[in-house]
Amino acid sequence: MSVPAIAVYTSPPGASVHAPPEHEYSSRGSAPCAAAASPSAAPSSHRHAAAVAGGLSCLFSSPSAAPRATAYEELGALWNDRSDDPPTVVAGGFGGGGYSYPQSSSSPSPFKLRDHLHRSPVSLFHSPAASSPASRSPSVSWLAARERDRLFSSFVRNALGSCIDFAPVTSLPLGVRPAATGVDAAELAFELDENLSEAEPSCEPGAHELLARVQARHRIFRDELVVKAFFEAERAHRGQKRASGDPYLQHCVETAVHLANIGANATVVSAGLLHDTIDDSFMDYDHIFRMFGAGVADLVEGVSKLSHLSKLARDNNTASRTVEADRLHTMFLAMADARAVLIKLADRLHNMKTIEALPLVKQQRFAKETMEIFVPLANRLGIASWKDQLENICFKHLNPEEHKELSSKLVMSFDEALLTSTLDNLDKGLRDEGISYHSLSGRHKSLYSIYSKMIKKNLTMDDVHDIHGLRLVVDTEEDCYRALDIVHKLWPRVTGRFKDYISHPKLNGYRSLHTVIMCEGVHPFEIQIRTKEMHLQAEYGFAAHWRYKEGGCRHSFVLQMVEWARWVLTWQCEAMSKERPSSLSSSVGMRPPCPFPLHSEDCPYSYSRQCNHEGPIFVIMLEHDKMSVQELPANSTVVDLIERVGANSPRWSPYSFPLKEELRPRVNHKPISDPNRKLSMGDVVELTPALPHKSLTEYREEIQRMYERGGFALATTPRS
């Protein structure tokens, strides 16, 4: 996904208001580095070390497997507390890294005010914004909202076109609460304890220190709800250890830290802390609901469901069956609140970072599954830094030799100082010519992305021209060409590498100017120049980067869901992360209507409930202990599934619905009494339940009788 750090086009008016310093250098991922107050201030050894160390890191020092925290990630942790951030320069790991400027300040653009006050949803997953303390201005927010709506509307019409029915909601009906996102005090089904953080509940040694450490990094961990979730997670996992020997709680905390790093709000961070409680402790949904309310409980339950599916998929090696793996991605995104997918991804990211503690064979299995299932999810959701990190870890385990060789080469060839100085030069060149810009960002390509490109195009590393890349987003098409002239005046261009996708858009609608220039005579730099609208299209439209990477996509409803998920996540994390109950009351009047097409009146900001598409549904089918992901038309029933299985079976012929409950098909672990029960996205249908021990003999006899009557499939009363 693309990378602007401060690119701000469509931020909702409820979003936090920031006044960033003149220059911001920030990461595409969750890894800003506050070590240097300016790009040039960080010693290059430090920058290199941080770049190299970026792959595997762990926030908390641990006696066993967890490596020491790296500058890359530790400093990334500061993002959530943006008001404390100094201007930062980023030291990205091999996950790729980035830098960026907001618009140039010498030549204010008409968007200047809005741009500085609101951050883009696009920016959320890519780069933290360094900022000075927040202040709120309702009138400016409102103006921004109108601009956002205008931009968003035209973007949706242009970009999504026939993919969706575009019917923007202009206002929320009276009495409808705008969001189930940040925790609104009125939504809570419990009273938050006063001075909870001082309550000092008794817990295992080290837990308070763990909390203190993480609180020092992220303000969100001082939030009452989050503190309460921390102590509840501690209670749930007390005495449990990870394979590495670390307390289990550490995994919960680090999962939550990943979420905090991308700006998730208190509800999501709390659910991240509690994400394993339903599966691995005495706590159930009701308990979490009573303690934390529906927002957190639903998310934890959603993660638990995803974990079950993921385990089923792993045990059945679904990842290696492309079609089914693809259905699985869609199913994950469609069945759960997108934020649950986010928590599952954060959980997987930490598990992958600590995978060395597992036996080799498991490392391989996890790496394969992560590459096939979770990397595409991170890609589709636009969380580039997680995608890069997951890919690089998997790469290391799946192709250790290639990883080693390429890492050493990249250390030699990647020049971080050059990236920042090129950014500086372009910024100056643009200012000198009076061209205002919206954002200017730079990134270095991740190790795995370089590797993939080399394999795909049969290149050597020297032939990869975009290891260093800059992206400039300006206001008008005319500015694109003016900026291009400046670029070509500043540096010699590499012949044959200029592409004008503005006058000749790609078939998928992608528009941008691309050129490759040579820095200091030896380093090729790819520079992309585009307008804000082109950029939105490249991020969210038909030309979206995830689709560009993944190739064709069959179902338009998939496109819609994915873009929805990205939008919801981006907005929620971005807009709500600073909004705690105390501040909500004052901002409620300014809450925006949900901008996403198709949101209905009760707008829960969760696309899953809005997804009344006519497209197919995907369900998991378990038959004789084998799992498959089946695609069925909308409104299909259990009988439809059974008929499909029967039709493919040589023994197929109808038989009656079993009387014995334990022999009936199960949907989500419960035997069904109505074979015409409709199936929903993500249902797990067991056609042949696992053999119950006690009734084993009886069960066999019954099956035998069924076969004798003619076939192991169900025929039911015909449907009307």
Ligand X SMILES: Nc1ncnc2c1ncn2[C@@H]1O[C@H](COP(=O)(O)OP(=O)(O)OP(=O)(O)O)[C@@H](O)[C@H]1O
Instruction: Tell me whether residue 126 or residue 545 sits nearer to ligand GTP (CB atom).
Output: 545
Mark residue 599 as left, alpha or beta (left: phi above 0; alpha: psi -120 to 50; beta: remaining).
beta
Cα dist. 255→75, 230, 251, 370 in Å? 16, 12, 6, 16
E-assigned strand segments in 355-467: 437-444
Instruction: Tell me whether residue 234 or residue 391 sits nearer to ligand X (CB atom).
Output: 391
Instruction: Tell me whether residue 27 or residue 141 sits nearer to ligand X (CB atom).
Output: 27
3-state secondary structure of 609: helix
In angstroms, what is the minimal distance from the CB of 440 to ligand X?
Answer: 9
Instruction: Tell me whether residue 382 or residue 682 sits nearer to ligand X (CB atom).
Output: 382
Residue 3 touches which member of ligand GTP, ligand X, none, C-beta under 5-8 Å by kind: ligand X
In angstroms, what is the minimal distance from the CB of 96 to ligand X?
Answer: 6
Residue 235 touches which member of ligand GTP, ligand X, none, C-beta under 5-8 Å by kind: none
Q: Are residues 384 and 126 in contact, defined by beta-carbon separation less than 8 angstroms?
A: yes
Residue 533 touches which member of ligand GTP, ligand X, none, C-beta under 5-8 Å by kind: none
Instruction: Tell me whether residue 548 or residue 699 sits nearer to ligand GTP (CB atom).
Output: 548
In angstroms, what is the minimal distance from the CB of 385 to ligand GTP?
Answer: 16
Instruction: Tell me whether residue 2 or residue 637 sits nearer to ligand X (CB atom).
Output: 2
Estimate the crossing angle of helix 447-457 against helix 400-413, to 10 degrees: 110
| 649, containing H or E segment | none
Q: How far is CA 285 from the centre of its chain?
A: 24
The CB-side HSE value for 235 (13 A sphere, CA atoms) comes to 14
Instruction: Tell me whether residue 538 or residue 667 sits nearer to ligand GTP (CB atom).
Output: 538
Q: Are residues 361 and 273 in contact, defined by beta-carbon separation less than 8 angstroms?
A: no
In angstroms, what is the minimal distance from the CB of 525 to ligand X?
Answer: 8
Residue 506 touches which member of ligand GTP, ligand X, none, C-beta under 5-8 Å by kind: ligand GTP
Residues that bind ligand GTP (CB under 6 A): 466, 499, 506, 508, 510, 514, 538, 543-545, 548
In angstroms, what is the minimal distance from the CB of 278 to ligand X?
Answer: 34
In angstroms, what is the minimal distance from the CB of 587 to ligand GTP?
Answer: 34
Contacts of 670 (CB under 8 A, 6+ apart): none
In angstroms, what is the minimal distance from the CB of 268 to ligand X?
Answer: 23
Residue 384 touches which member of ligand X, ligand GTP, none, C-beta under 5-8 Å by kind: ligand X
Contacts of 590 (CB under 8 A, 6+ apart): 13, 14, 138, 141, 142
Estimate the crossing angle of helix 447-457 against helix 384-398, to 10 degrees: 70
Dihedral through CA 14, CA 16, CA 20, CA 25, nearest 10?
A: -100
In angstroms, what is the minimal distance from the CB of 528 to ligand GTP?
Answer: 6
Residue 68 touches which member of ligand GTP, ligand X, none, C-beta under 5-8 Å by kind: none
Instruction: Tell me whether residue 237 or residue 532 sits nearer to ligand GTP (CB atom).
Output: 532
> Closest-CB residue for ligand X?
469
Distance CA(517)–CA(433), nearest Å, equals 19
3-state secondary structure of 241: strand
In the block, tokens 């599966």 appear at: 279
Contacts of 408 (CB under 8 A, 6+ apart): none
3-state secondary structure of 472: strand
Instruction: Tell me whether residue 73 or residue 526 sits nearer to ligand X (CB atom).
Output: 526
Residue 470 touches which member of ligand GTP, ligand X, none, C-beta under 5-8 Å by kind: ligand X
Residues that bind ligand X (CB under 6 A): 1-3, 96, 384, 441, 443, 445-446, 449, 453, 466, 469-471, 526, 528, 545, 549
Residue 715 touches which member of ligand GTP, ligand X, none, C-beta under 5-8 Å by kind: none
Distance CA(580)–CA(128), nearest Å, equals 20
Residue 660 touches which member of ligand X, ligand GTP, none, C-beta under 5-8 Å by kind: none
In angstroms, what is the minimal distance from the CB of 682 to ligand X?
Answer: 29
3-state secondary structure of 468: strand
